[in-house]
Structure 1
Amino acid sequence: MKDLLHPISLAVAVLGFLCLLRDVPTRRRDPATTALAAVFLLSGLSFLFSITPMWNHLDRVLGTVNLSVPLAQGCVIALIACQQVVLTYWGAPPDIARRRARAWLGAGLSVIAGLLVLFALLTPSAPRPIDFTLYYAHDNMYAAYLTLYVTAYTIGELFLARACWRLARHSTRTSVLVGLRVVALGATITLGYSAVRMGNVIAGAFGTSLAEWENFAWTCGDVGAMLTLIGWLVPTITDQAQIIQYRIKQHRSYHRLRALWLAFHSEAPEIALPIDRVDPAQRRRFRGIAFKLYRRAVEIRDGRFVIRQYLDAGVRERSEAHHSAKGFHGDELNAAVTADQILAGIAARAAGNRPDPDQLTDFADADADADRQTSQPMDDIDALLAVARHFPREPARTPHPERASA
């Protein structure tokens, strides 16, 4: 059962660690993120050390029989402490969180030190990757070792379940609420493993065995640990999915603004922002979609400024009447009118026809985002996209008279 469930749990731990790995460098000052990444890493190591092939390999390489036991269980105690660090920083002010985090880490290190000392006092005779606990259950030194480990493990899981339920009640994010409740459920299930292991100690004292409960113990331990990892992973995957969705939106916005940008660039190519003089070491960040989209929006805004003096009030009035008759209103009406004004302004500039001063109008009067709130980065882009929706996909290039004669 152990060798069947451990690889699955190991895969979940590796997935979680890889998902968090990209965030750790950018959140170096966030102890909770670092501690959560450590939870996945330590969990993965604990499963890896306990798999039979790795167990046997470590015995051969390190020359110490059954050393996987304190290595795996030391990782478990460390990850329990790290889980408490995560919850401490999520639920307490920084000053209090730092003190509590140091206390949890100190307690974890103390337990690990005790486990190493007790393991060193054992007299292992042969590798026991499958039935180590049953084999040593009657050894008084191992009984002390197992009692220390199970006690620390049980206390950690009880604290974890209680803290997760408490924080979940105060969470405003659905992904965090769901994740914390799954963690609490997983921690509760692992108590079945604790009960069997404590039963091993008691049964050993009476000269009996709980061999028939081994599969139940490993099932509770692995399923509970897997649910705990999945619970920690829910907010992480949700955040990653939102980031991916945001990137996709940026790519789509960049391409959907092409027709609008091309209309301005065809008439006034000088709006293009030069980057050929940028330090080559910095050019990499200019290749990202975020900068490309921002650059395209700025160039479109510059293009609007170029044609401002060619805007005709009559165009606006006719366009408003036309689109109002089609049922447009509000922002959609402004966007459609703005698109018509842009096309007319570009054509007027290309032909050199500047309206009479009495017919000049302010571009903002029909701009799609004139009355919009732009508190979010994509709000300004959304306003331009509203205009682009009323634009021809590939506007015809109208050569400027001066450039044509040249």
Structure 2
Amino acid sequence: MNAYTLHSVCAVTAWLAFAYKLTALRKAPRDYALAALCGALLFSAIAYTIAHPRLYAPVDRLLGFPNGAALVSMTCIVLVLACQQFVLTFWAHPPAVARRKARPRVLAALFVLAALYTLYVMTGPSEQRPKDFALHYATDPPFAVFLSIYLLYFIGGEAAIARQSHAYAKVSHRLWLRRGLGLVAIGAWLTLAISLSRALSVPLEALSVDLNPMEPITRVLGDVGTLITYVGWTLPGWGPALAAPGRRLRARRQYQRLRPLRNALHEFAPTIELPAYADGFWHRLRPSYLEFKVYRLVIEIRDCQLALRPYADPHAVRVARELGRAAGLAPREVLAVEEATQLASMVRSRRRNTAPAAHCGPRTAAGPQGSGLADEIDWLVRVAEVMERSPYVAEALAGSRAETVGEGPGRRSGIADVA
């Protein structure tokens, strides 16, 4: 892939990214950060389009003066940098603080644009140079000032974007936003390195150092950094779709583990049942459908556990704890054996019509306190697996009732076989 092909890829990608984010802006027209992001993508698309070698001359003819495409492209790049900084500022701060912090950045962009247009009129580059515009005129003193102002703003803007993206990625709680901002930071650092090399071209050209052989490499690296940035800005929107198959598979496994446990408890607490998911066929194909069903199972299991609490066998739980510790299980595994034994003793007591305890007292088993629903689901899945497979549950139940002579330490209990 040569430099011009990559340039075309950047232009097409920018337009696609702009169209993609524009659909989101239509749903949230008052989102200033999203509007600024759409502006950044739009100006970037315009800059890449009109600076393409095949469009450079037609744009000049349309504007009526030579190298007008280069001036418009530079203008768009300045606006891109300003919009990107605006986005990050509004993401990182409350609206009132963000407006105050964004104002100097907007004024700086306007000042740079005013300086660029003034110096451009003063220099008046008359020879059309679509491939090496900056390098060709770098030896002209007024244009060297023009190019220095542009590159200084470019370097400062990319450095600010890289720093803000990296800082905000570290504190964001959204996984795909963190990943997207990480890519934005990488793209910004890469384009920053290219801009630094361009900044060196001004004094080196004055010293008659020929940098034309490096120009294709510089263009390619700059375009690659820009493409990485496009991916980073749009990743939070389409990135979760990449994880959909994994989410669905994980939810299906969780559902298959929790469903037998819920059914065993629900048999003796039939009034505990949450409303079903009431969406159509296509919604059933989404990962959220299975995730909602798993969430229902967790709530119903906990509610049934509370309702059947008087039927728990504290002695069996204590035996399970001692067996787990004697076997050298990790503390978390011991807790899982305890809670699995508690649930199994509830089901067995109800199936045998054992009278409930007069005072259920404190909870006989409790799992580790997680940080959210995901931890609670993982914990109950582990408890269900232990209840199904662990020999310590069966041994604890066998040792707690004299009538369970037929059960032994080597017999697995099973959720459907606790009676």
* TM-score, length basis structure 2: 0.64
Q: Identify if the C-alpha distance between structure 1 residues 161 and 120 changes in structure 2 by more than 3 Å, giving closer, same or farther.
A: closer
State whether residues 267 and 397 of structure 1, in contact with CA within 8 Å, keep that contact through their aligned partners in structure 2. Answer: no
Alignment of 1:98-109 (within 5 A): 98-109=99-110
- 2:327 is matched with 326
- Asked if 1:193 is matched to 2:189, the reply is no
Query: Which amino acid in the other structure matches residue 381 of structure 2?
Result: L
- Cα distance in 1 between the residues matched to 2:221 and 2:123: 30
SS in 2 for 1:390: helix
Q: Give how far 1:67 is off.
A: 5.9
- Greater Cα shift, 149-158 or 108-117: 108-117
| Equivalent residue letter for 2:109 | G
CA–CA separation in structure 2 for the residues paired with 1:326 and 1:24: 59
Supply the AA of the counterpart residue of 1:103: P
By how many angstroms is 1:299 displaced? 1.2
Tell me the residue number matched to 1:355.
Answer: 355
Q: CA deviation at 1:124?
A: 11
Corresponding position: 1:150 with 2:151 = no
Q: Which amino acid aligns with 1:223?
A: L
- Cα deviation for residue 319 of structure 1 reads 3.0
**How many corresponding residue pairs?**
378
Aligned to 1:381: 377
Counterpart in 1 of 2:399?
none
> Does the 8 Å CA contact 2:337/2:383 hold for their aligned counterparts?
yes
| Displacement of 1:301 | 0.9
Deviation for aligned residue 1:274: 1.5
Counterpart of 1:150, as a letter, is: L
For 2:77, what is the secondary structure of its paired residue? helix
1:213 to 207, 211, 214: 211
CA distance in 1, matches of 2:365, 2:311: 14
Distance 2:57 2:417 in 1: 73
Q: Aligned partners of 1:15 and 1:267: how far apart in 2?
A: 56
* Closer/same/farther in 2, CA of residues 183 and 118 from structure 1, 3 Å limit: closer
2:404 matched to which residue of 1? none
Query: Counterparts of 2:129 and 2:154 in 1: how far apart (Å)?
Result: 27
- Residues 159-308 of structure 1 correspond to what in structure 2 (within 5 A)? 159-160=156-157, 163=160, 173=170, 180=185, 183-184=188-189, 186-196=191-201, 213-224=211-222, 226-227=224-225, 230=228, 244=243, 247=247, 252-275=253-276, 287-308=288-309
Closer/same/farther in 2, CA of residues 29 and 266 from structure 1, 3 Å limit: farther
Looking at structure 1, the residues matched to 303 and 198 of structure 2 have their Cα atoms a distance apart, in angstroms, of: 66
- Supply the distance in 2 between the matched residues of 1:160 and 1:306 (Cα, whole angstroms): 61
Residues 374-406 of structure 1, C-alpha deviation per residue, up to 9 Å, x if partnerless?
Answer: 44343333332331221338844999xxxxxxx
How far off its partner does 1:355 sit? 3.2
Identity %: 28
- Whole-angstrom distance in 2 between the partners of 1:123 and 1:261: 79
Give the AA of the match of 2:196. Answer: L
Q: 1:87 to 1:319 in 2, by over 3 A?
A: closer
Q: Contact 1:259/1:391 (CA < 8 Å) preserved in 2?
A: no
Query: Unaligned 5+ residue runs, structure 2?
Result: 172-177, 390-413
State the secondary structure of the residue aligned to 1:271: coil
Change (3 A) 1:184 1:6: same
Partner residue, 2:50: 49
- 1: distance between equivalents of 2:36 and 2:169? 22
Cross-structure match for 1:366: 365
The equivalent residue for 2:347 is: 346
- Cα–Cα, structure 1 residues 356 and 292, in superposed 2: closer, same or farther, change >3 Å? closer
CA distance in 1, matches of 2:115, 2:150: 14
Is contact 1:311–1:362 with CA below 8 Å preserved after alignment? no
Q: Is the 8 Å Cα contact of residues 271 and 303 (structure 1) preserved in structure 2?
A: yes
SS at match of 2:386: coil
Shift of 1:78: 0.7
Listed as ranges, the gaps of 5+ residues in structure 1 are 204-208, 400-406
CA distance in 2, matches of 1:253, 1:384: 9
Name the amino acid aligned to 1:366: A
Q: CA deviation at 1:76?
A: 0.8
Structure 1 residues 25, 152: CA separation in 2 closer, same or farther (over 3 Å shift)? farther
Q: Which amino acid aligns with 2:76?
A: C
How many Å separate the matches in 2 of 1:20 and 1:130?
31
> C-alpha offsets along residues 75-121 of structure 1, whole Å, 9 cap, x if unaligned?
21111223443565688886565234223224434555776798899
Quick one: distance in 1 between partners of 2:58 and 2:388? 67
Counterpart for residue 336 of structure 1: 337
Offset at residue 357 of structure 1 (A): 3.2
Can you list the C-alpha shifts for 1:153-205, whole angstroms capped at 9, x where unaligned? 212133236546876998893977897576345313313234447878x79xx
Please provide the CA RMSD for this pair: 5.5
CA contact 1:180–1:232 (8 Å) conserved in 2: no
**Structure 1 pair 76–287 and aligned structure 2 pair: CA distance change class (3 A):** same
- TM-aligned CA distance change 1:117 to 1:27, over 3 Å: same
Query: Aligned AA for 1:295?
Result: R
Distance 1:163 1:127, change over 3 A: closer
CA distance in 1, matches of 2:269, 2:417: 11
